[in-house]
């Protein structure tokens, strides 16, 4: 059979070679243990061809691929001119060139190069790359999407620089237009931003608004919800909070007109609403963080804490999971800046009813322990390492 390049690749032959390339990718990734080859079952379509010309067209493609050093074609030993019974891979790169494709391993190498300058700032990218190497997608993305992950890193850096300049709230489309000359790009990057901010590829996806607010971005500005029989100073005067709660733009909350007995932050909305209905007449100032609090919310929190005596208890009540303790670690930093020590409220493993406990993967437990330690809660960190479960406030 001639080894000349066919004028046009036979469709059945192309599909067979593409299948071989996929097998090669799986073998290279360690997903498959068998050496890449097309056996008689994979060649059933070719064997079933009734037209001699169609068979010759198929065989011409395989002969050419063999002459290019990409594959090895095997015929029956007793019938060397008979139908092809097996095709083995010889060189994945040459096979990919014939098909106009790029091997998966090469695509991952290019992705590593694209993301190399961001690995130090975002170690989670190593987990992203490792997943891609194993042919696993991360938030529906693969190595061909590496450039967009790099843009997500750039978006985070831009937002942090804006917050450092005192710009704590920016319309997301304005920021996207300024940074990328594409007003909708940042919104399309939200799944990647979520992973980069959380530092974890395994967490459930957060709502878009929560991811954006962590960066100081918004589609629609969200007020800060607060409850308690507490007087708050605002731009137009000092007023007691309404019953059961008030929702105010964070930037307009300037300070306190009277000192609360203690301060409690709550991560989740339903829990906050229940607390507000039950305790709105108390002298405890309760603040809803809406998940990971925004830069504007954190600036408001600092202003409020700065006016309180350091003896005023400051608590946080959040989920007993990785996200909950990551939020706690950030709030602990804010409290420390204002001279306070953040204490946990109902966040010990023993506080969680057994019905709400879910077994947690080892890596999740490790990160929970890490964030609890960063919050200054070393005793709870040890308890989390022993308990090995997660639980949410709501549900």
Residue 7 has pLDDT above 80, yes or no: no
The encoded tokens of residue 37 equal: 């080859």
pLDDT for residue 44 is more than 50: yes
pLDDT above 70 covers a percentage of the chain that reads 97
Q: Is the dihedral of CA 82, 88, 92, 96 positive or negative?
A: positive
User: pTM here?
Assistant: 0.84
pLDDT band for position 57 (50/70/90)? very high
Which two three-digit tokens encode residue 272? 């906050």
224-390 under CATH 3.40.1360.10, yes or no: yes
Domains 11-101 and 224-390 share a fold: no
Using alpha carbons, select from 234, 374, 213, 375 the residue that is nearest to residue 304: 234
Residues 80-90 pLDDT 10s: 788 999 999 99
Inform me whether the pLDDT recorded for 30 exceeds 90: no
Q: Which of 39-43, 258-262, 272-276, 315-319 has the lowest mean pLDDT?
A: 39-43
Torsion 263-264-270-271 (CA) sign: negative
pLDDT of residue 303: 97
pLDDT at 259 over 70: yes
Q: What is the mean pLDDT of residues 191-219?
A: 95
pLDDT tier, 4 (very low <50, low <70, confident <90, very high otherwise): low
Residue keyed to tokens 């700032």? 121
User: Mind listing the pLDDT tens digit for each residue in 105-162?
Assistant: 999 999 999 999 999 999 999 999 999 999 999 999 999 999 999 999 999 999 999 9
The percent of residues above 90 in pLDDT, for the chain, comes to 88
What architecture (CATH level 2) is domain 11-101?
Orthogonal Bundle (1.10)
Whole-number Å distance between alpha carbons of 93 and 71: 11
395 falls in which pLDDT band (50, 70, 90)? Answer: very low
What are the extents of the domains in the chain?
Answer: 11-101, 105-218, 224-390
**Residue 203's pLDDT band (cuts 50, 70, 90):** confident
pLDDT confidence band for 28 (50 / 70 / 90): confident
Q: Output the pLDDT for position 281.
A: 96
Helix (H, G, I), strand (E, B) or coil at 37: strand
pLDDT of residue 394: 62
């Amino acid at each position: 059979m001639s080894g000349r390049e066919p004028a046009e690749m036979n469709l059945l032959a192309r599909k067979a070679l593409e299948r071989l390339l996929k097998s090669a990718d799986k073998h290279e990734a360690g997903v498959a243990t068998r050496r890449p080859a097309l056996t008689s079952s994979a060649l059933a379509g070719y064997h079933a061809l009734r037209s001699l010309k169609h068979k010759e067209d198929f065989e011409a493609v395989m002969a050419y691929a063999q002459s290019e050093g990409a594959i090895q074609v095997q015929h029956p030993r007793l019938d060397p001119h008979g139908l092809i019974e097996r095709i083995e891979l010889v060189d994945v790169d040459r096979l990919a060139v014939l098909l106009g494709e790029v091997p998966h391993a090469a695509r991952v190498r290019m992705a590593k190069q694209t993301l190399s300058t961001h690995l130090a700032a975002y170690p989670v990218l190593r987990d992203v790359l490792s997943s891609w190497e194993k042919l696993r997608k991360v938030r529906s993305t693969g190595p061909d999407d590496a450039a967009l992950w790099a843009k997500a890193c750039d978006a985070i850096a831009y937002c942090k620089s804006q917050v450092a300049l005192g710009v704590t709230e920016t319309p997301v489309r304005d920021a996207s237009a300024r940074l990328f000359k594409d007003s909708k790009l940042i919104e399309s990057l939200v799944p990647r931003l979520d992973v980069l901010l959380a530092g974890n590829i395994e967490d459930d996806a957060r709502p878009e608004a929560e991811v954006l607010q962590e960066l100081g971005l918004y589609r629609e500005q969200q007020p800060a919800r607060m409850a308690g029989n507490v007087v708050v100073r605002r731009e137009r005067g000092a007023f007691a909070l309404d019953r059961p709660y008030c929702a105010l733009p964070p930037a307009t909350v300037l300070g306190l007109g009277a000192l609360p007995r203690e301060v409690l932050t709550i991560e989740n909305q339903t829990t906050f609403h229940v607390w507000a209905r039950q305790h709105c007449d108390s002298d405890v100032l309760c603040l809803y963080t809406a998940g990971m609090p925004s830069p504007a919310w954190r600036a408001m929190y600092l202003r409020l804490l700065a006016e309180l005596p350091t003896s005023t208890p400051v608590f946080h009540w959040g989920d007993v999971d990785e996200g909950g303790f990551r939020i706690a670690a950030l709030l602990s930093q804010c409290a420390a800046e204002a001279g306070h020590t953040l204490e946990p409220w109902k966040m010990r493993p023993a506080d969680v009813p057994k019905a709400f406990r879910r077994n947690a993967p080892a890596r999740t437990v490790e990160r929970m322990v890490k964030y609890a330690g960063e919050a200054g809660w070393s005793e709870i960190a040890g308890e989390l390492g022993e308990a090995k479960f997660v639980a949410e406030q709501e549900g």
